[in-house]
Structure 1
Amino acid sequence: MTAVALAGTGLVTALGNGPHAFWDGLLRGTRAFGELTAFEGEFRSRTVAAVPASACRAVPGRRKEAMALAAAGQALHAASLPRLPDGSLVVLVSQAPRSAAGADGDFTGPAPEKLLAALGSSVDRVSVVHLSHACASAAFGASFARDWLVSGLSDTALVVGASALNPYEYASMDVVRTLSPGGARPLDGVRDGITVGEGGGAFVLETEARARGRGHRPQAWLTGAACLVDSTQAVASERAAISACMQSALQDAGVGRIDYVHAHATGTAQGDAAEAEAVGELARALGPRPVPLSSHKGAVGHLLHASAFPAVVAAVGFLREARLPGTPGLREPLETPDGVLVVRKPTTVARAEHVLVNSFGFSGNNASLVLSAAGR
Structure 2
Amino acid sequence: MSTEKRVVVTGISVMAANGNNIDEFNENAVRGIGGIKKTTLFPTDKIRTDYFGQVNKTYIYEVQSLKDKSRLECMYEDLILQLLEDTSITPEIIGELNEKVGFSFATSVGVNDYVSGHVKGSIEKSISKSNIYKLPKKLKIKGPVFVNTSACAAGTTAIGTAYSLVNSGICDMVISGGIDPLTEFSSYGFHSLQNLSSTPCRPFDKDRDGITLGEGGALFVIESYESAQKRNAKIYCEVLGYGLGNDAYHATSPDPSGDGAYRVMTQALKQADVLPAKIDYINTHGTGTEINDSMEIKAIERLTGKCHVNSIKSQVGHCLAAAGAVEFAATVLSINNSYVYPNINLSNPINSLEEVELPSELVYKNIHYALSNSFAFAGNAASIVVGGISE
Q: TM-score, normalised by structure 2?
A: 0.87
The residue that corresponds to 1:91 in the other structure is 104
CA distance in 1, matches of 2:271, 2:136: 32
Q: Which moved more, 1:262-271 or 1:110-119?
A: 110-119
CA contact (8 A) 1:97 1:130 kept: no
Say yes or no: does 1:115 pair with 2:151.
no
Say yes or no: does 1:27 pair with 2:39.
no
The residue that corresponds to 1:261 in the other structure is 282
Aligned residue for 1:66, secondary structure, equals: helix
CA distance in 1, matches of 2:169, 2:179: 28
| 1:74 corresponds to which of 79, 82, 87 | 82
Give 1:22 deviation, angstroms.
1.1
Cα shift readout 1:122-172 (whole Å, capped 9, x = no counterpart): 6xx233221111001010011111112222221111113211111111111
CA distance in 1, matches of 2:5, 2:352: 33
The residue that corresponds to 2:162 in the other structure is 145
CA distance in 2, matches of 1:98, 1:191: 31
CA distance in 2, matches of 1:176, 1:203: 33
CA contact (8 A) 1:217 1:374 kept: no
CA contact (8 A) 1:277 1:336 kept: no
1:189 aligned partner, one-letter code: K
CA contact (8 A) 1:26 1:328 kept: no
Structure 2 stretches of 5 or more lacking a match?
A: 64-69, 119-125
Cα shift readout 1:72-128 (whole Å, capped 9, x = no counterpart): 3322332221223432211221115759xx768799797345434543x16xx2332
1:251 aligned partner, one-letter code: K
CA distance in 1, matches of 2:131, 2:103: 12
1:52 aligned partner, one-letter code: N
2:84 aligned partner, one-letter code: L
Say yes or no: does 1:44 pair with 2:28.
no
2:290 aligned partner, one-letter code: A
Structure 1 stretches of 5 or more lacking a match?
A: 285-289
Q: Map of 1:332-351 to 2, 5 A cutoff?
A: 332-349=348-365, 351=366
CA contact (8 A) 1:47 1:183 kept: yes
Identity of aligned residues (%): 25
2:108 aligned partner, one-letter code: Q
Give 1:187 deviation, angstroms.
1.1
Aligned residue for 1:17, secondary structure, equals: coil
The residue that corresponds to 2:330 in the other structure is 314
CA distance in 1, matches of 2:29, 2:195: 23
Q: Which moved more, 1:274-283 or 1:8-17?
A: 8-17
Aligned residue for 2:151, secondary structure, equals: coil
Tell me the matched-pair count: 363
CA RMSD of aligned residues (A): 2.3
Q: Map of 1:43-62 to 2, 5 A cutoff?
A: 43-53=47-57, 57-58=59-60, 60-61=62-63, 62=70
Aligned residue for 1:216, secondary structure, equals: coil
Q: Which moved more, 1:61-70 or 1:127-136?
A: 61-70
The residue that corresponds to 1:15 in the other structure is 18
| 1:252 corresponds to which of 271, 285, 297 | 271
2:135 aligned partner, one-letter code: L
CA contact (8 A) 1:180 1:192 kept: yes
1:281 aligned partner, one-letter code: R
Cα distance, 1:297–1:105 mapped onto 2, change above 3 Å: farther
| 1:279 corresponds to which of 294, 300, 303 | 300
Cα distance, 1:117–1:251 mapped onto 2, change above 3 Å: closer
Q: Which moved more, 1:273-282 or 1:104-113?
A: 104-113
CA distance in 2, matches of 1:309, 1:43: 27
CA contact (8 A) 1:94 1:108 kept: no
Aligned residue for 1:250, secondary structure, equals: helix
1:292 aligned partner, one-letter code: H
| 1:199 corresponds to which of 216, 232, 245 | 216
Cα shift readout 1:12-53 (whole Å, capped 9, x = no counterpart): 111121122111111111121111331125111111111112
1:270 aligned partner, one-letter code: I
CA distance in 2, matches of 1:224, 1:127: 20
Cα shift readout 1:292-324 (whole Å, capped 9, x = no counterpart): 111111101000110012211111121111111
Q: TM-score, normalised by structure 1?
A: 0.90
The answer to which structure has the higher helix fraction is: 2
CA contact (8 A) 1:68 1:161 kept: no
Q: Map of 1:99-248 to 2, 5 A cutoff?
A: 111-112=131-132, 114-119=134-139, 121=140, 125-238=142-255, 239-248=258-267
CA distance in 2, matches of 1:147, 1:269: 34
CA distance in 1, matches of 2:259, 2:30: 31
CA distance in 2, matches of 1:336, 1:305: 31
Cα shift readout 1:213-262 (whole Å, capped 9, x = no counterpart): 22213111111101112222222222001011111111111112111001
The residue that corresponds to 1:323 in the other structure is 339
Aligned residue for 2:155, secondary structure, equals: helix
